[in-house]
Every structure is written in structure tokens, then in C-alpha cells.
Amino acid sequence: MKPAAFRKSFDGKTVLDCPALELAEGRITAVIGANGSGKSTLARVLAGIEPPDGGGSPLPGCRAGYLPQSCYAFRMGTLQNLLLNGGDASRAHSLMNALHLDALAGQPARALSGGERAKMALARLLMAKYALLLLDEPCAAMDMESTLAAEQLISDYRRETGCAVLLITHSISQAERIADDLMFLNDGRVVETGNAQRVLTAPGTEELRRFLAFFGR
């Protein structure tokens, strides 16, 4: 999967200048970088939520599933929220069980806590089949136990469907655990890409070395 190069500007200022990318099918690419580096903009443009400068799409015809940082819950029960995205009840119950949501199946989704709502939104997304998953901080509101369960579901989904996954995260540890490849953004530019373990253990740019130093790396 090769998204075309694009730029995205707001009020005349370029916030992301993205070269042509290669997102390998069946692999998870973690995207790291400081706040404001363009990570969420990257996901929103690839998802078709934000048009790039000049219009069009970097991935025309691609069926992409997008999970934003702010998770929306519809006015219905938790199980019904999952079923809105297709699939059957057995799949929904399996996902909810893996994320420890099964006891909340009949509870109004809007009554869920922040972490529970994040798990519900991820499970809802995973009800359908996509060629590309775009996940923007999917585990930010989850505790560690739920984070590990969510990571396992994402990894299993990638393996079962063969889709490409773009995972935005502020957790270097999460990138180490789950990512095959890594992309580092800084000031709206893709500075470094490559095998996740190689890039994290032997960064090739001073920008990434400085960024990792904040995490004691």
C-alpha cells in the first residue's frame, strides 16, 4: 500500500509535508513524534477526513478504518454500538470479552467511563474488515491490562485480515511491543522510517535521538 505524497495546510501554514509512503500489508507501523508534529493530521488525511492541499486522496479507493482520539458513543447499548459496524453478535461478544466489556453489553454506551468508551470504540472498529487501520492513540485512556489486551486484538486483527495498520502512539514502550515498523515525525516532516527495533535502538538522525532522550532512551 503506497499513499501518494501530499501536503496539508491550515490558514496558509503547512502543518504536514508527507512524502510517498509504503505501508506494508500485514504489518503495524507505529507513528511517534511530539505534540503538533503532524501525527493526527497524517491519519485524518489518509482516512479521508481532511483533504490534502489540492484535493483528492493519497489513497483513492482504499477501505480504511479510522479511530480518532475522541471516541464517539451512539445513544444505545454497548453491544448495539458494536453491531452498528456490521458483523454478528458472536464476534461482538468475543471482542467485548477480550476487553473485559462483556458485563457492560447492555449498559448505555454514553454511561461508560473514558477507558471503557475507548475499548468500546476499538471493538466497534474491529467488527468490520478494512485494508488499512488508522488508530490515533487508541489506548491513551486505558489502564495497562486493557492496553495489553487491546494490543493483542490489534495484532490478531492484522494477522487475520492481512491489513496494514498505522498506530499513532506517545508510548515508546508500546511501539516496541507491537510495531513492525516505525515512523518519526517532527515539525510536520517524516524524519525517519524503518524497522521499529532498528530505528529505536540505533536512530539515524539527531532529531530522533533527542526525542528518545526525553524517554530515557
Rounded mean pLDDT, 90-116? 96
Query: In this predicted structure, what is the pLDDT of residue 49?
Result: 95
In order of start, what are the domains of the chain with their CATH numbers?
Answer: 6-72+129-213 (3.40.50.300)
pLDDT digits (tens, 9 = 90+) for 141-153: 999 999 999 999 9
Contacts of 217 (CB under 8 A, 6+ apart): 172, 200
Query: In this predicted structure, what is the pLDDT of residue 130?
Result: 98
pLDDT band at 140 (very low <50, low <70, confident <90, very high): very high
pLDDT digits (tens, 9 = 90+) for 168-195: 999 999 999 999 999 999 999 999 999 9
Cα 99 to Cα 62, 104, 105, 114, 171: the distances in Å are: 28, 11, 12, 14, 20
Query: In this predicted structure, what is the pLDDT of residue 87?
Result: 86
Residue 217 pLDDT exceeds 90: no
Q: Is 74 left (phi over 0), alpha (psi -120 to 50) or beta?
A: beta
pLDDT band at 216 (very low <50, low <70, confident <90, very high): confident
Query: In this predicted structure, what is the pLDDT of residue 113?
Result: 96
pTM recorded for the entire structure: 0.96
